[in-house]
Structure 1
Amino acid sequence: MKILETERLIIEEANLSDASFFLRLLNSPNWLEFIGDRNIKSLEDATKYVQESLIGSYKEKGFGFYKMSLRANNEPIGAIGFLKREYLEFPDIGYAILPNYESKGYVSEAAKAVLEYGKNKLQLKEIVAFTTEENLASQKILLKIGLYFIDKRILDGEECVYYSTEKC
């Protein structure tokens, strides 16, 4: 199901036929460095990930992590969306993109649109984000789309920089 379109992108729910794409994305260098190894090493692992983590979130929470594709040719290039983690009060926005598509403005374009979708369509009261202190590109995007730096926190056992749509 299509969630939204931007000038250059289509944001839509993932389905089981996207498993090979998610296998590539979850094993890309930036995913492994900044998000972490999810131990998705086979097409079977990726299919299970799409079914349980992505499709499961759409059904259970009404939102999740979506596939990001180019409008020009429908080629999947990344993922973006919201996650509701047990240790956070509010959903957090996250994103990842394949290396060939980095530094072309796709993530900023998608993140701005998805943030508006979360506020207006999903009626999310507050949206947060966090990343490692080393991930300067992600921090730049979060500020560019209108989130505010709040502080540094230990989240999931790791020191992170924490952002929110609301000033504290």
Structure 2
Amino acid sequence: MTESMTVIETPRLRLRTATLDDAAFYMELVNDPSWIANIGQRNIHTLEAARAALETGPMAQQRELGYSFYIIELRSEGLAIGMCGLIKRATMPGPDIGYALLPAHCGQGLAWEASAGVLRHTRDVLRVPTLYGLTSPSNQPSINLLNKLGLRFERFSRQPLGGKDSNIYRRDFLRTDA
């Protein structure tokens, strides 16, 4: 069993790598109506399917690229409340930032806090030159969050997976030491 590693800490949150022990939480998160509406149906309805999705998704990406979607935990309780991090899609020239929270934890600034931590980590530790964000044109909370993170609308796109319409946002990080 792979052990989790804390990657980012913020005042209220700990973002850590996923493990197979996160299967029940992951299954709950990806079956939340908000996830399905804004990210898509994953058809993960068993612990076995959740473990397989974690293994071939965030865990594999972490091993291969050194970044992934991280489990968001409340530091005060160690309770998993969502995911936030980076994904490298074949259709995008660089990684994009994403997040999802269980409904009970929305509206408290936690998505912003987690995303801002991921942005700093992306810029300062991973030294990624360009960060992208994808969101549905109708998902105003995500549009607001991407803008608050300094990502700006680049273009509209129809993504191949599911053919969903997406707004693509972008932020370039200036390099003064190159």
TM-score (norm 1): 0.96
Paired residue for 2:97? 93
Given that residues 129 and 172 in structure 2 are in contact (C-alpha distance below 8 angstroms), is that contact kept between their aligned partners in structure 1?
no
Paired residue for 1:31? 35
- Aligned AA (2:77): N
Which of these residues, 3, 12, 15, is aligned with residue 11 of structure 1?
Answer: 15
- Distance in 1 of aligned mates of 2:70 and 2:12: 16
Given that residues 148 and 166 in structure 1 are in contact (C-alpha distance below 8 angstroms), is that contact kept between their aligned partners in structure 2?
no
Structure 1 gap segments, 5+ residues each: none
Which 4+ stretches in 1 moved above 3 angstroms? none
- Distance in 2 of aligned mates of 1:116 and 1:149: 20
Paired residue for 1:103? 107
Paired residue for 2:169? 163
Given that residues 132 and 160 in structure 1 are in contact (C-alpha distance below 8 angstroms), is that contact kept between their aligned partners in structure 2?
yes
SS in 2 for 1:86: coil
- Aligned AA (2:60): G
SS in 2 for 1:127: strand
Deviation at 1:145, TM superposition (A): 1.3
CA RMSD of aligned residues (A): 1.1
TM-score (norm 2): 0.91
Given that residues 4 and 12 in structure 1 are in contact (C-alpha distance below 8 angstroms), is that contact kept between their aligned partners in structure 2?
yes
Which of these residues, 57, 64, 80, is aligned with residue 60 of structure 1?
Answer: 64
Which of these residues, 90, 109, 118, is aligned with residue 114 of structure 1?
Answer: 118
C-alpha offsets along residues 128-150 of structure 1, whole Å, 9 cap, x if unaligned?
01110111111111011111112
- Distance in 2 of aligned mates of 1:51 and 1:154: 28
Structure 2 gap segments, 5+ residues each: 174-178
- Aligned AA (2:150): G
C-alpha offsets along residues 63-121 of structure 1, whole Å, 9 cap, x if unaligned?
11100010110100000010000011010001100010011100001101101101110
Given that residues 14 and 54 in structure 1 are in contact (C-alpha distance below 8 angstroms), is that contact kept between their aligned partners in structure 2?
yes
Aligned length: 167
Query: Residue 146 in 1 paired to residue 176 in 2?
Result: no
- Distance in 2 of aligned mates of 1:106 and 1:74: 14
Given that residues 69 and 78 in structure 1 are in contact (C-alpha distance below 8 angstroms), is that contact kept between their aligned partners in structure 2?
yes
- Percent identity at matched positions? 34
- Aligned ranges 1:34-45 → 2 under 5 Å: 34-45=38-49
Deviation at 1:60, TM superposition (A): 0.9
